[in-house]
Structure 1
Amino acid sequence: MYTGQGVDVFEEAKQRSLQDYLEAALGVSAYKSGSQVRMDACPHCGHSLAGSGKLRIKGDRTWQCYGCGLFGSIIDAAMWLTPGCETPLLAAKDITGGNTPPAISPVERQKQIDADNRKVEWQVWVNQRIHEATRQRFDPAVWDYLVRTRGLSPDVVTEAWHRGMLGSMPANRDQATLWLSSVVGDTELHYAGLWKEDSPSPWIAGRPLVQFVDTKQYAEFRVLFKPTNPKTKKSLAVGKPGVPYYWKGSNSSRCLVTEGCLELLAALSMGYPGDMIATAGTGSWRISWFKGLADKGVKVFDLAFNNDHRVDPSTGQISNPGKECQVELARELQSIGLQCADASPKEVGDINDALLRLRQKSQ
């Protein structure tokens, strides 16, 4: 799309600094997290707890939010942030015109931050109450999913439950709603932002597999099926992020690094003897974790991120977020003198997929 002077307004808009634009519009600063650039706010879902790092800025050209799952360019951001910019053309013209005001005022922003902080504190309380309640019983449907569908060792699942890493709620949504009302309380679920006024059940009902980090301040609630709707998230993250899932092994000279809790348990089911940590998704690691583990005796970090082979149907471009993130992490570890090795699956998929292939070959 060209202006009257023959200038491509879309190309001009895309050449603007995305980081500068988001910092001005959202009123927060971006910061380095390892080799990545992160922000605690998103053009779509707004601000979050300081240090959440939920938004990743890639090459100053695209953004991706690990909170709401949306991603896009500077033009997509302007369409979300600027009133009246309902089309890409209007957004591009607004960006190049330099007329984009901050999305919200400093006062409004602080109110939103304070409200989000209160909500997260309630979520931490909810996680701790649910963790206590899940020490009593493990739902059979969740057990069947982990052992039969995911192929995890029954001993590993039992030990993970005893260690407090795994928990379960009733698999039936209506039963889970009653269970949550009893264990947590309707009002508390509303305070935590987990039950909207117009919804018949809390958001976490229907996600009966619960994965807890050691602090119990952060948990992921997961469905037991592959969503048919691409907008349905497999996991719902609740509480304060900041520490990884952790498993103390018998050989602390090595540490396996995976993208999720289930991948960690799959590696354990395959016999990995060392310590293990799991991030809460691609790119959400922090270099301080590895420095701390190295101080405790870890000599080599075995990086086992997902081997994702994705093809964009609209462009035909191939991407591999897991591999790309692993390369970034390896570079960062090596820059501070830490050793690492490639332990990712050679075939497409994650460690759990490798475990399932191994199980099939042995049958």
Structure 2
Amino acid sequence: MDIEGSVALVTGANRGIGRAFARALIEHGAAKVYAGARDPAKVVDQDVTPLRLDVTDHQQVADAAAVAGDVTVVVNNAGIGGASTKLLEGPFDGARRAMDVNYFGTWAVSRAFAPVLARNGGGALVNMLSLASWVGQPLFPGYAAAKAAQWSLTDALRKALREQGTLVVGVHAGFVDTELSAWTDAPKISAAEVAEQTVRALADDRVEVLADEETRKAKDALSLPLDPGAPKTDTTDTDDTTDAIDTTDATDTTNTTDTTAETGTVLGAVLDRWKAAVDGHRPQEVAAQFTEDAVFQGLHPYSVGRQGIADYYASQPLGLTADYRVLETRRLADDLVFGYLGVDFGFTDRPTLGVNLGVLVRCVDDGWYISHYQVSRLD
């Protein structure tokens, strides 16, 4: 969607990631940004429109939808940690509050603004999720459970609002450098980077943002057994980026057609990271999606290893984009997936180039990566 001239609402916009979302939208040309906050006086930026909004107060949510009837982008960012609830002892008050804000608050705002978005042409709905949507957290189980529920809600909204033309985007990140994560010294991504990646996803009509490497690893790990000796579970329709995939079982998964959701999830997660890095003209990030000894054959002489891949993409013109379609998949082994794709490479100064692409995706120590990449021309 086009951010230029859009009208946005950001919940929890007075600080942290919410304020970063508001700034990014303004910087990318939004005509107006409503900055939702429980206390509008705490919204300090002069180029946004403060709006009283406690997402747990149904009357305030209804009032906000009435006031902000011109909105075309809704960003559900408001959230709390709920860390006071311990896993094995103590009261559940913090976890209930986290569920009320993070899950039911997102649901309430989405429900109230869905008809507003429909009237204004469809627009977009963005939900700020988390790496914790996919990974249980013994230190803050209430927060993780609320984010897991919010992820499920996001998928439901995506399916329900598709017919009215609303783009629904799930944004996942690990620790973000805000007050909420001040308690830990773990590596953190900046709120501004999360917001920038999200705005780029909106511009590219992408349904998911995996903001940092830890989040991408967590997404990849959804297709792995729970432990080395555990049986694989049915992961049908758990991929936040796609609709349900044919789950016809195959007795032997070696050298047979495998169209299960698990294989599609593995391949799609890797290719989505590759596409995002290509579209963003980030050569080193593209190369990081490959194994260290990957064989790479683009439209130039082949190379081996990540540096050759980074050099290849660094030589490509700014504005290059990659749109892929999965044509065939095979699960060749537990740690090896084959994908055969159609890819349209778009340019700003020449016609789109259509190619076929074969990739082998391999599971190594910390996730899934492309180990072989072979392009063939259609003409």
Do they superpose with TM above 0.5? no
TM category, shorter: under 0.3
TM-score with structure 2 length normalisation? Answer: 0.25
Higher relative CO (CA 8 A, sep ≥ 6), structure 1 or 2?
A: 1
